[in-house]
A and B are shown apart, each in its own frame.
Chain A
Amino acid sequence: MEKETIYLEKQVGRSNPFRVPEGYFDSLPDEVMKRIDAAGAPAGAAETVSRPRKKARLFSLRPVIRYAAASVAALVICAAVYVSSSTSSDQQEATAAAATVEDASFDEVADYVMLDNADIYACLSSDY
Protein backbone atom coordinates (compact mmCIF):
# COMPACT_ATOMS: atom_id res chain seq x y z
CA MET A 1 0.00 0.00 0.00
CA GLU A 2 1.38 3.40 -0.92
CA LYS A 3 2.61 5.60 1.90
CA GLU A 4 0.07 8.37 1.31
CA THR A 5 -2.77 5.87 1.76
CA ILE A 6 -1.17 4.68 5.00
CA TYR A 7 -0.88 8.32 6.11
CA LEU A 8 -4.57 8.94 5.35
CA GLU A 9 -5.63 5.78 7.13
CA LYS A 10 -3.78 6.92 10.24
CA GLN A 11 -5.29 10.41 10.00
CA VAL A 12 -8.94 9.58 9.30
CA GLY A 13 -9.42 5.84 9.04
CA ARG A 14 -11.92 4.26 6.64
CA SER A 15 -15.07 4.15 8.73
CA ASN A 16 -18.34 5.49 7.33
CA PRO A 17 -19.35 8.69 9.11
CA PHE A 18 -22.71 9.04 7.31
CA ARG A 19 -26.04 7.93 8.78
CA VAL A 20 -29.54 7.39 7.41
CA PRO A 21 -32.98 7.90 8.98
CA GLU A 22 -34.22 4.86 10.87
CA GLY A 23 -36.00 2.36 8.63
CA TYR A 24 -34.88 4.12 5.48
CA PHE A 25 -33.69 1.01 3.64
CA ASP A 26 -36.81 -0.95 4.67
CA SER A 27 -39.13 1.60 3.13
CA LEU A 28 -36.93 2.36 0.11
CA PRO A 29 -38.29 -0.35 -2.24
CA ASP A 30 -41.87 0.89 -1.73
CA GLU A 31 -40.80 4.50 -2.31
CA VAL A 32 -39.00 3.54 -5.51
CA MET A 33 -42.02 1.63 -6.85
CA LYS A 34 -44.31 4.58 -6.04
CA ARG A 35 -42.03 6.87 -8.00
CA ILE A 36 -41.87 4.49 -10.94
CA ASP A 37 -45.67 4.13 -10.93
CA ALA A 38 -46.09 7.90 -10.72
CA ALA A 39 -43.74 8.36 -13.67
CA GLY A 40 -45.82 5.90 -15.69
CA ALA A 41 -44.65 2.94 -17.75
CA PRO A 42 -41.92 3.81 -20.24
CA ALA A 43 -42.84 3.72 -23.95
CA GLY A 44 -42.79 0.16 -25.15
CA ALA A 45 -42.36 -1.11 -21.61
CA ALA A 46 -44.63 -4.05 -22.28
CA GLU A 47 -42.36 -5.14 -25.07
CA THR A 48 -39.11 -4.17 -23.33
CA VAL A 49 -39.71 -5.54 -19.84
CA SER A 50 -40.95 -8.94 -20.91
CA ARG A 51 -38.68 -11.20 -22.89
CA PRO A 52 -39.34 -11.24 -26.62
CA ARG A 53 -41.72 -14.05 -27.47
CA LYS A 54 -41.61 -16.25 -30.50
CA LYS A 55 -44.55 -16.20 -32.89
CA ALA A 56 -47.47 -18.10 -31.40
CA ARG A 57 -47.90 -21.58 -32.75
CA LEU A 58 -51.26 -23.15 -33.47
CA PHE A 59 -50.40 -25.93 -31.09
CA SER A 60 -47.57 -26.62 -28.65
CA LEU A 61 -44.88 -28.78 -30.17
CA ARG A 62 -43.23 -29.85 -26.93
CA PRO A 63 -45.88 -32.41 -25.86
CA VAL A 64 -45.80 -33.86 -29.38
CA ILE A 65 -42.01 -34.13 -29.21
CA ARG A 66 -42.30 -35.90 -25.86
CA TYR A 67 -44.93 -38.27 -27.29
CA ALA A 68 -42.74 -38.98 -30.28
CA ALA A 69 -39.67 -39.58 -28.12
CA ALA A 70 -41.64 -41.86 -25.81
CA SER A 71 -42.92 -43.84 -28.78
CA VAL A 72 -39.41 -44.27 -30.15
CA ALA A 73 -38.10 -45.27 -26.74
CA ALA A 74 -40.88 -47.85 -26.37
CA LEU A 75 -40.12 -49.30 -29.78
CA VAL A 76 -36.40 -49.52 -29.00
CA ILE A 77 -37.07 -51.22 -25.66
CA CYS A 78 -39.43 -53.73 -27.26
CA ALA A 79 -36.88 -54.43 -29.93
CA ALA A 80 -34.17 -54.93 -27.34
CA VAL A 81 -36.34 -57.34 -25.34
CA TYR A 82 -37.18 -59.27 -28.49
CA VAL A 83 -33.56 -59.44 -29.48
CA SER A 84 -32.36 -60.64 -26.08
CA SER A 85 -34.89 -63.47 -25.94
CA SER A 86 -33.97 -64.84 -29.38
CA THR A 87 -31.34 -67.49 -30.41
CA SER A 88 -27.96 -66.34 -31.78
CA SER A 89 -28.92 -66.76 -35.42
CA ASP A 90 -32.21 -65.13 -34.76
CA GLN A 91 -30.35 -62.49 -32.80
CA GLN A 92 -28.42 -61.39 -35.85
CA GLU A 93 -31.59 -60.99 -37.83
CA ALA A 94 -33.33 -59.31 -34.90
CA THR A 95 -30.44 -56.92 -34.33
CA ALA A 96 -30.52 -55.88 -37.93
CA ALA A 97 -34.28 -55.52 -37.71
CA ALA A 98 -34.04 -53.49 -34.49
CA ALA A 99 -31.49 -51.18 -36.03
CA THR A 100 -33.74 -50.73 -39.02
CA VAL A 101 -36.72 -50.14 -36.77
CA GLU A 102 -34.71 -47.75 -34.64
CA ASP A 103 -33.53 -45.80 -37.65
CA ALA A 104 -36.83 -45.81 -39.41
CA SER A 105 -39.13 -45.29 -36.45
CA PHE A 106 -37.91 -41.86 -35.46
CA ASP A 107 -38.14 -40.67 -39.04
CA GLU A 108 -41.61 -42.10 -39.31
CA VAL A 109 -42.74 -40.46 -36.11
CA ALA A 110 -41.24 -37.17 -37.17
CA ASP A 111 -43.00 -37.43 -40.52
CA TYR A 112 -46.24 -38.35 -38.76
CA VAL A 113 -46.20 -35.25 -36.59
CA MET A 114 -44.96 -33.17 -39.50
CA LEU A 115 -41.85 -31.91 -37.79
CA ASP A 116 -38.64 -30.84 -39.41
CA ASN A 117 -35.27 -30.30 -37.82
CA ALA A 118 -35.76 -26.53 -37.51
CA ASP A 119 -39.01 -27.06 -35.59
CA ILE A 120 -37.43 -29.61 -33.30
CA TYR A 121 -34.42 -27.43 -32.50
CA ALA A 122 -36.60 -24.36 -32.02
CA CYS A 123 -38.92 -26.20 -29.71
CA LEU A 124 -36.18 -27.72 -27.60
CA SER A 125 -34.33 -24.41 -27.26
CA SER A 126 -37.38 -22.28 -26.43
CA ASP A 127 -38.64 -21.58 -22.93
CA TYR A 128 -42.03 -23.02 -21.94
Chain B
Amino acid sequence: MVRQYSEQLYWQVRRIVLVHDDANDVLQNTYLKAWNALDSFHGDSKVFTWLSRIAINESLDFLRRQKARGAISADEDQSVAATLMADSYFDGSEVQAQLQEAITQLPDVQRTVFQLRYFDDMKYSEMSQLLQTSEGSLKASYHIAVKKISEFFKSHD
Protein backbone atom coordinates (compact mmCIF):
# COMPACT_ATOMS: atom_id res chain seq x y z
CA MET B 1 0.00 0.00 0.00
CA VAL B 2 2.85 2.38 0.88
CA ARG B 3 4.85 1.61 -2.26
CA GLN B 4 1.80 1.75 -4.48
CA TYR B 5 0.33 5.07 -3.37
CA SER B 6 3.06 7.02 -1.61
CA GLU B 7 4.28 9.13 -4.52
CA GLN B 8 0.79 10.27 -5.54
CA LEU B 9 -0.15 10.99 -1.95
CA TYR B 10 3.11 12.82 -1.30
CA TRP B 11 2.51 15.29 -4.10
CA GLN B 12 -1.04 15.97 -2.92
CA VAL B 13 0.34 16.73 0.53
CA ARG B 14 3.38 18.68 -0.69
CA ARG B 15 1.29 21.03 -2.79
CA ILE B 16 -0.69 21.95 0.33
CA VAL B 17 2.11 22.23 2.89
CA LEU B 18 4.82 23.35 0.43
CA VAL B 19 7.92 22.29 2.41
CA HIS B 20 9.42 18.82 1.89
CA ASP B 21 10.13 18.07 5.56
CA ASP B 22 6.58 19.03 6.51
CA ALA B 23 5.15 16.95 3.66
CA ASN B 24 7.22 13.98 4.79
CA ASP B 25 5.89 14.28 8.35
CA VAL B 26 2.29 14.69 7.21
CA LEU B 27 2.56 11.73 4.84
CA GLN B 28 3.97 9.45 7.53
CA ASN B 29 1.22 10.58 9.92
CA THR B 30 -1.26 9.77 7.15
CA TYR B 31 -0.07 6.18 6.94
CA LEU B 32 -0.01 5.88 10.71
CA LYS B 33 -3.60 7.12 10.90
CA ALA B 34 -4.61 4.79 8.07
CA TRP B 35 -3.00 1.86 9.89
CA ASN B 36 -4.87 2.71 13.08
CA ALA B 37 -8.14 3.20 11.22
CA LEU B 38 -8.04 0.06 9.07
CA ASP B 39 -11.14 -1.31 10.78
CA SER B 40 -13.10 1.75 9.69
CA PHE B 41 -12.38 1.12 6.01
CA HIS B 42 -15.33 -0.87 4.68
CA GLY B 43 -14.39 -0.88 0.99
CA ASP B 44 -17.08 1.61 0.10
CA SER B 45 -14.50 3.68 -1.73
CA LYS B 46 -11.25 2.90 -3.48
CA VAL B 47 -8.22 2.48 -1.18
CA PHE B 48 -6.49 5.46 -2.79
CA THR B 49 -9.55 7.67 -2.31
CA TRP B 50 -9.67 6.69 1.37
CA LEU B 51 -5.95 7.34 1.85
CA SER B 52 -6.19 10.58 -0.08
CA ARG B 53 -8.97 11.80 2.16
CA ILE B 54 -6.84 11.14 5.25
CA ALA B 55 -3.82 12.80 3.62
CA ILE B 56 -5.71 15.96 2.69
CA ASN B 57 -7.29 16.24 6.14
CA GLU B 58 -3.89 15.77 7.77
CA SER B 59 -2.41 18.43 5.49
CA LEU B 60 -5.13 20.96 6.29
CA ASP B 61 -4.88 20.16 10.02
CA PHE B 62 -1.15 20.78 9.76
CA LEU B 63 -1.75 24.21 8.25
CA ARG B 64 -4.32 25.07 10.93
CA ARG B 65 -1.89 24.08 13.71
CA GLN B 66 0.81 26.18 12.07
CA LYS B 67 -1.53 29.17 11.92
CA ALA B 68 -2.63 28.59 15.54
CA ARG B 69 1.03 28.56 16.65
CA GLY B 70 1.43 31.88 14.85
CA ALA B 71 3.96 30.30 12.51
CA ILE B 72 2.09 31.79 9.59
CA SER B 73 0.80 35.35 9.80
CA ALA B 74 -0.74 37.55 7.17
CA ASP B 75 2.65 39.25 6.76
CA GLU B 76 4.50 35.98 6.43
CA ASP B 77 2.06 34.89 3.75
CA GLN B 78 3.40 37.73 1.59
CA SER B 79 6.84 36.14 1.71
CA VAL B 80 5.74 32.64 0.74
CA ALA B 81 7.16 33.22 -2.74
CA ALA B 82 10.48 34.42 -1.30
CA THR B 83 10.64 31.44 1.09
CA LEU B 84 10.03 29.04 -1.79
CA MET B 85 12.67 30.65 -4.00
CA ALA B 86 15.18 30.10 -1.17
CA ASP B 87 14.11 26.44 -0.71
CA SER B 88 16.59 23.98 -2.21
CA TYR B 89 13.70 21.62 -3.00
CA PHE B 90 11.89 24.22 -5.10
CA ASP B 91 13.03 24.42 -8.71
CA GLY B 92 10.38 26.72 -10.08
CA SER B 93 10.49 30.22 -11.48
CA GLU B 94 9.50 33.34 -9.58
CA VAL B 95 6.12 33.27 -11.31
CA GLN B 96 5.54 29.72 -10.10
CA ALA B 97 6.50 30.79 -6.59
CA GLN B 98 3.99 33.64 -6.85
CA LEU B 99 1.33 31.14 -7.91
CA GLN B 100 1.98 29.16 -4.74
CA GLU B 101 1.72 32.36 -2.73
CA ALA B 102 -1.62 33.14 -4.37
CA ILE B 103 -2.85 29.64 -3.57
CA THR B 104 -1.94 29.97 0.12
CA GLN B 105 -4.28 32.96 0.33
CA LEU B 106 -7.29 30.85 -0.66
CA PRO B 107 -9.62 29.29 1.92
CA ASP B 108 -8.87 25.60 2.58
CA VAL B 109 -11.60 24.14 0.36
CA GLN B 110 -10.85 26.35 -2.64
CA ARG B 111 -7.14 25.72 -2.20
CA THR B 112 -7.61 21.95 -2.17
CA VAL B 113 -10.04 21.95 -5.09
CA PHE B 114 -7.75 24.17 -7.15
CA GLN B 115 -4.71 21.95 -6.49
CA LEU B 116 -6.54 18.76 -7.36
CA ARG B 117 -8.10 20.16 -10.51
CA TYR B 118 -5.32 22.35 -11.89
CA PHE B 119 -2.28 20.19 -11.11
CA ASP B 120 -3.72 16.65 -10.84
CA ASP B 121 -6.41 17.17 -13.50
CA MET B 122 -8.75 15.24 -11.22
CA LYS B 123 -12.30 14.74 -12.52
CA TYR B 124 -15.03 16.39 -10.49
CA SER B 125 -16.72 13.01 -10.00
CA GLU B 126 -13.57 11.64 -8.33
CA MET B 127 -13.12 14.82 -6.32
CA SER B 128 -16.71 14.58 -5.15
CA GLN B 129 -16.01 11.10 -3.73
CA LEU B 130 -12.75 12.25 -2.19
CA LEU B 131 -13.99 15.43 -0.56
CA GLN B 132 -17.59 14.21 -0.11
CA THR B 133 -18.92 17.41 -1.63
CA SER B 134 -21.27 17.81 -4.58
CA GLU B 135 -19.78 18.29 -8.03
CA GLY B 136 -21.65 21.58 -8.38
CA SER B 137 -20.02 22.97 -5.22
CA LEU B 138 -16.61 21.79 -6.38
CA LYS B 139 -17.00 23.45 -9.78
CA ALA B 140 -18.06 26.66 -8.09
CA SER B 141 -15.07 26.49 -5.71
CA TYR B 142 -12.67 25.94 -8.60
CA HIS B 143 -14.15 28.76 -10.62
CA ILE B 144 -13.82 31.17 -7.66
CA ALA B 145 -10.27 29.99 -6.93
CA VAL B 146 -9.14 30.47 -10.51
CA LYS B 147 -10.70 33.95 -10.61
CA LYS B 148 -8.95 35.00 -7.38
CA ILE B 149 -5.57 33.70 -8.54
CA SER B 150 -5.94 35.40 -11.94
CA GLU B 151 -6.77 38.67 -10.18
CA PHE B 152 -3.70 38.20 -7.96
CA PHE B 153 -1.47 37.95 -11.01
CA LYS B 154 -3.13 40.83 -12.81
CA SER B 155 -2.73 43.03 -9.73
CA HIS B 156 0.95 42.07 -9.46
CA ASP B 157 1.71 42.70 -13.14
Give residues in A with beta carbon < 8 Å to B.
2, 4-5, 7-8, 11-21, 24-25, 28-29, 31-33, 35-36, 39, 42, 44-45, 47-49
Contacts of A33 in B (CB 8 A): 2
Tell me if A42 and B36 are in contact (CB < 8 A).
yes
Partner of B15, one of A15, A18, A19, A29: A18
Tell me if B2 and A5 are in contact (CB < 8 A).
no
Contacts of B84 in A (CB 8 A): 17
Q: Which chain B residue lies CB-closest to A25? A: B7
Give residues in B with beta carbon < 8 Å to A.
2-3, 6-7, 10-11, 14-15, 18, 20, 24, 27-28, 31-32, 35-36, 38-39, 84, 88-93, 95-100, 118-119, 143, 146-147, 149-150, 153
Tell me if A8 and B118 are in contact (CB < 8 A).
yes
Total A-B residue contacts, Cβ distance less than 8 Å = 93
Contacts of A11 in B (CB 8 A): 95, 99, 153
Bound together, the chains give a CA A107 to CA B102 distance in angstroms of 76
Tell me if B20 and A49 are in contact (CB < 8 A).
no
Min CB distance, A36 to chain B, in Å? 5
Interface residues of chain B: helix, strand, loop or mixed (majority) = helix
Query: In the complex where A8-B153, A12-B95 touch, is A25 in contact with B143 (Cβ < 8 A)?
Result: no
Tell me if B150 and A7 are in contact (CB < 8 A).
yes
Q: List 5 A-B contacts (CB under 8 A).
A: A4-B149, A17-B84, A18-B92, A21-B20, A48-B38
Tell me if A20 and B20 are in contact (CB < 8 A).
yes
Query: In the complex where A8-B118, A11-B95, A25-B7 touch, is A48 in contact with B39 (Cβ < 8 A)?
Result: yes
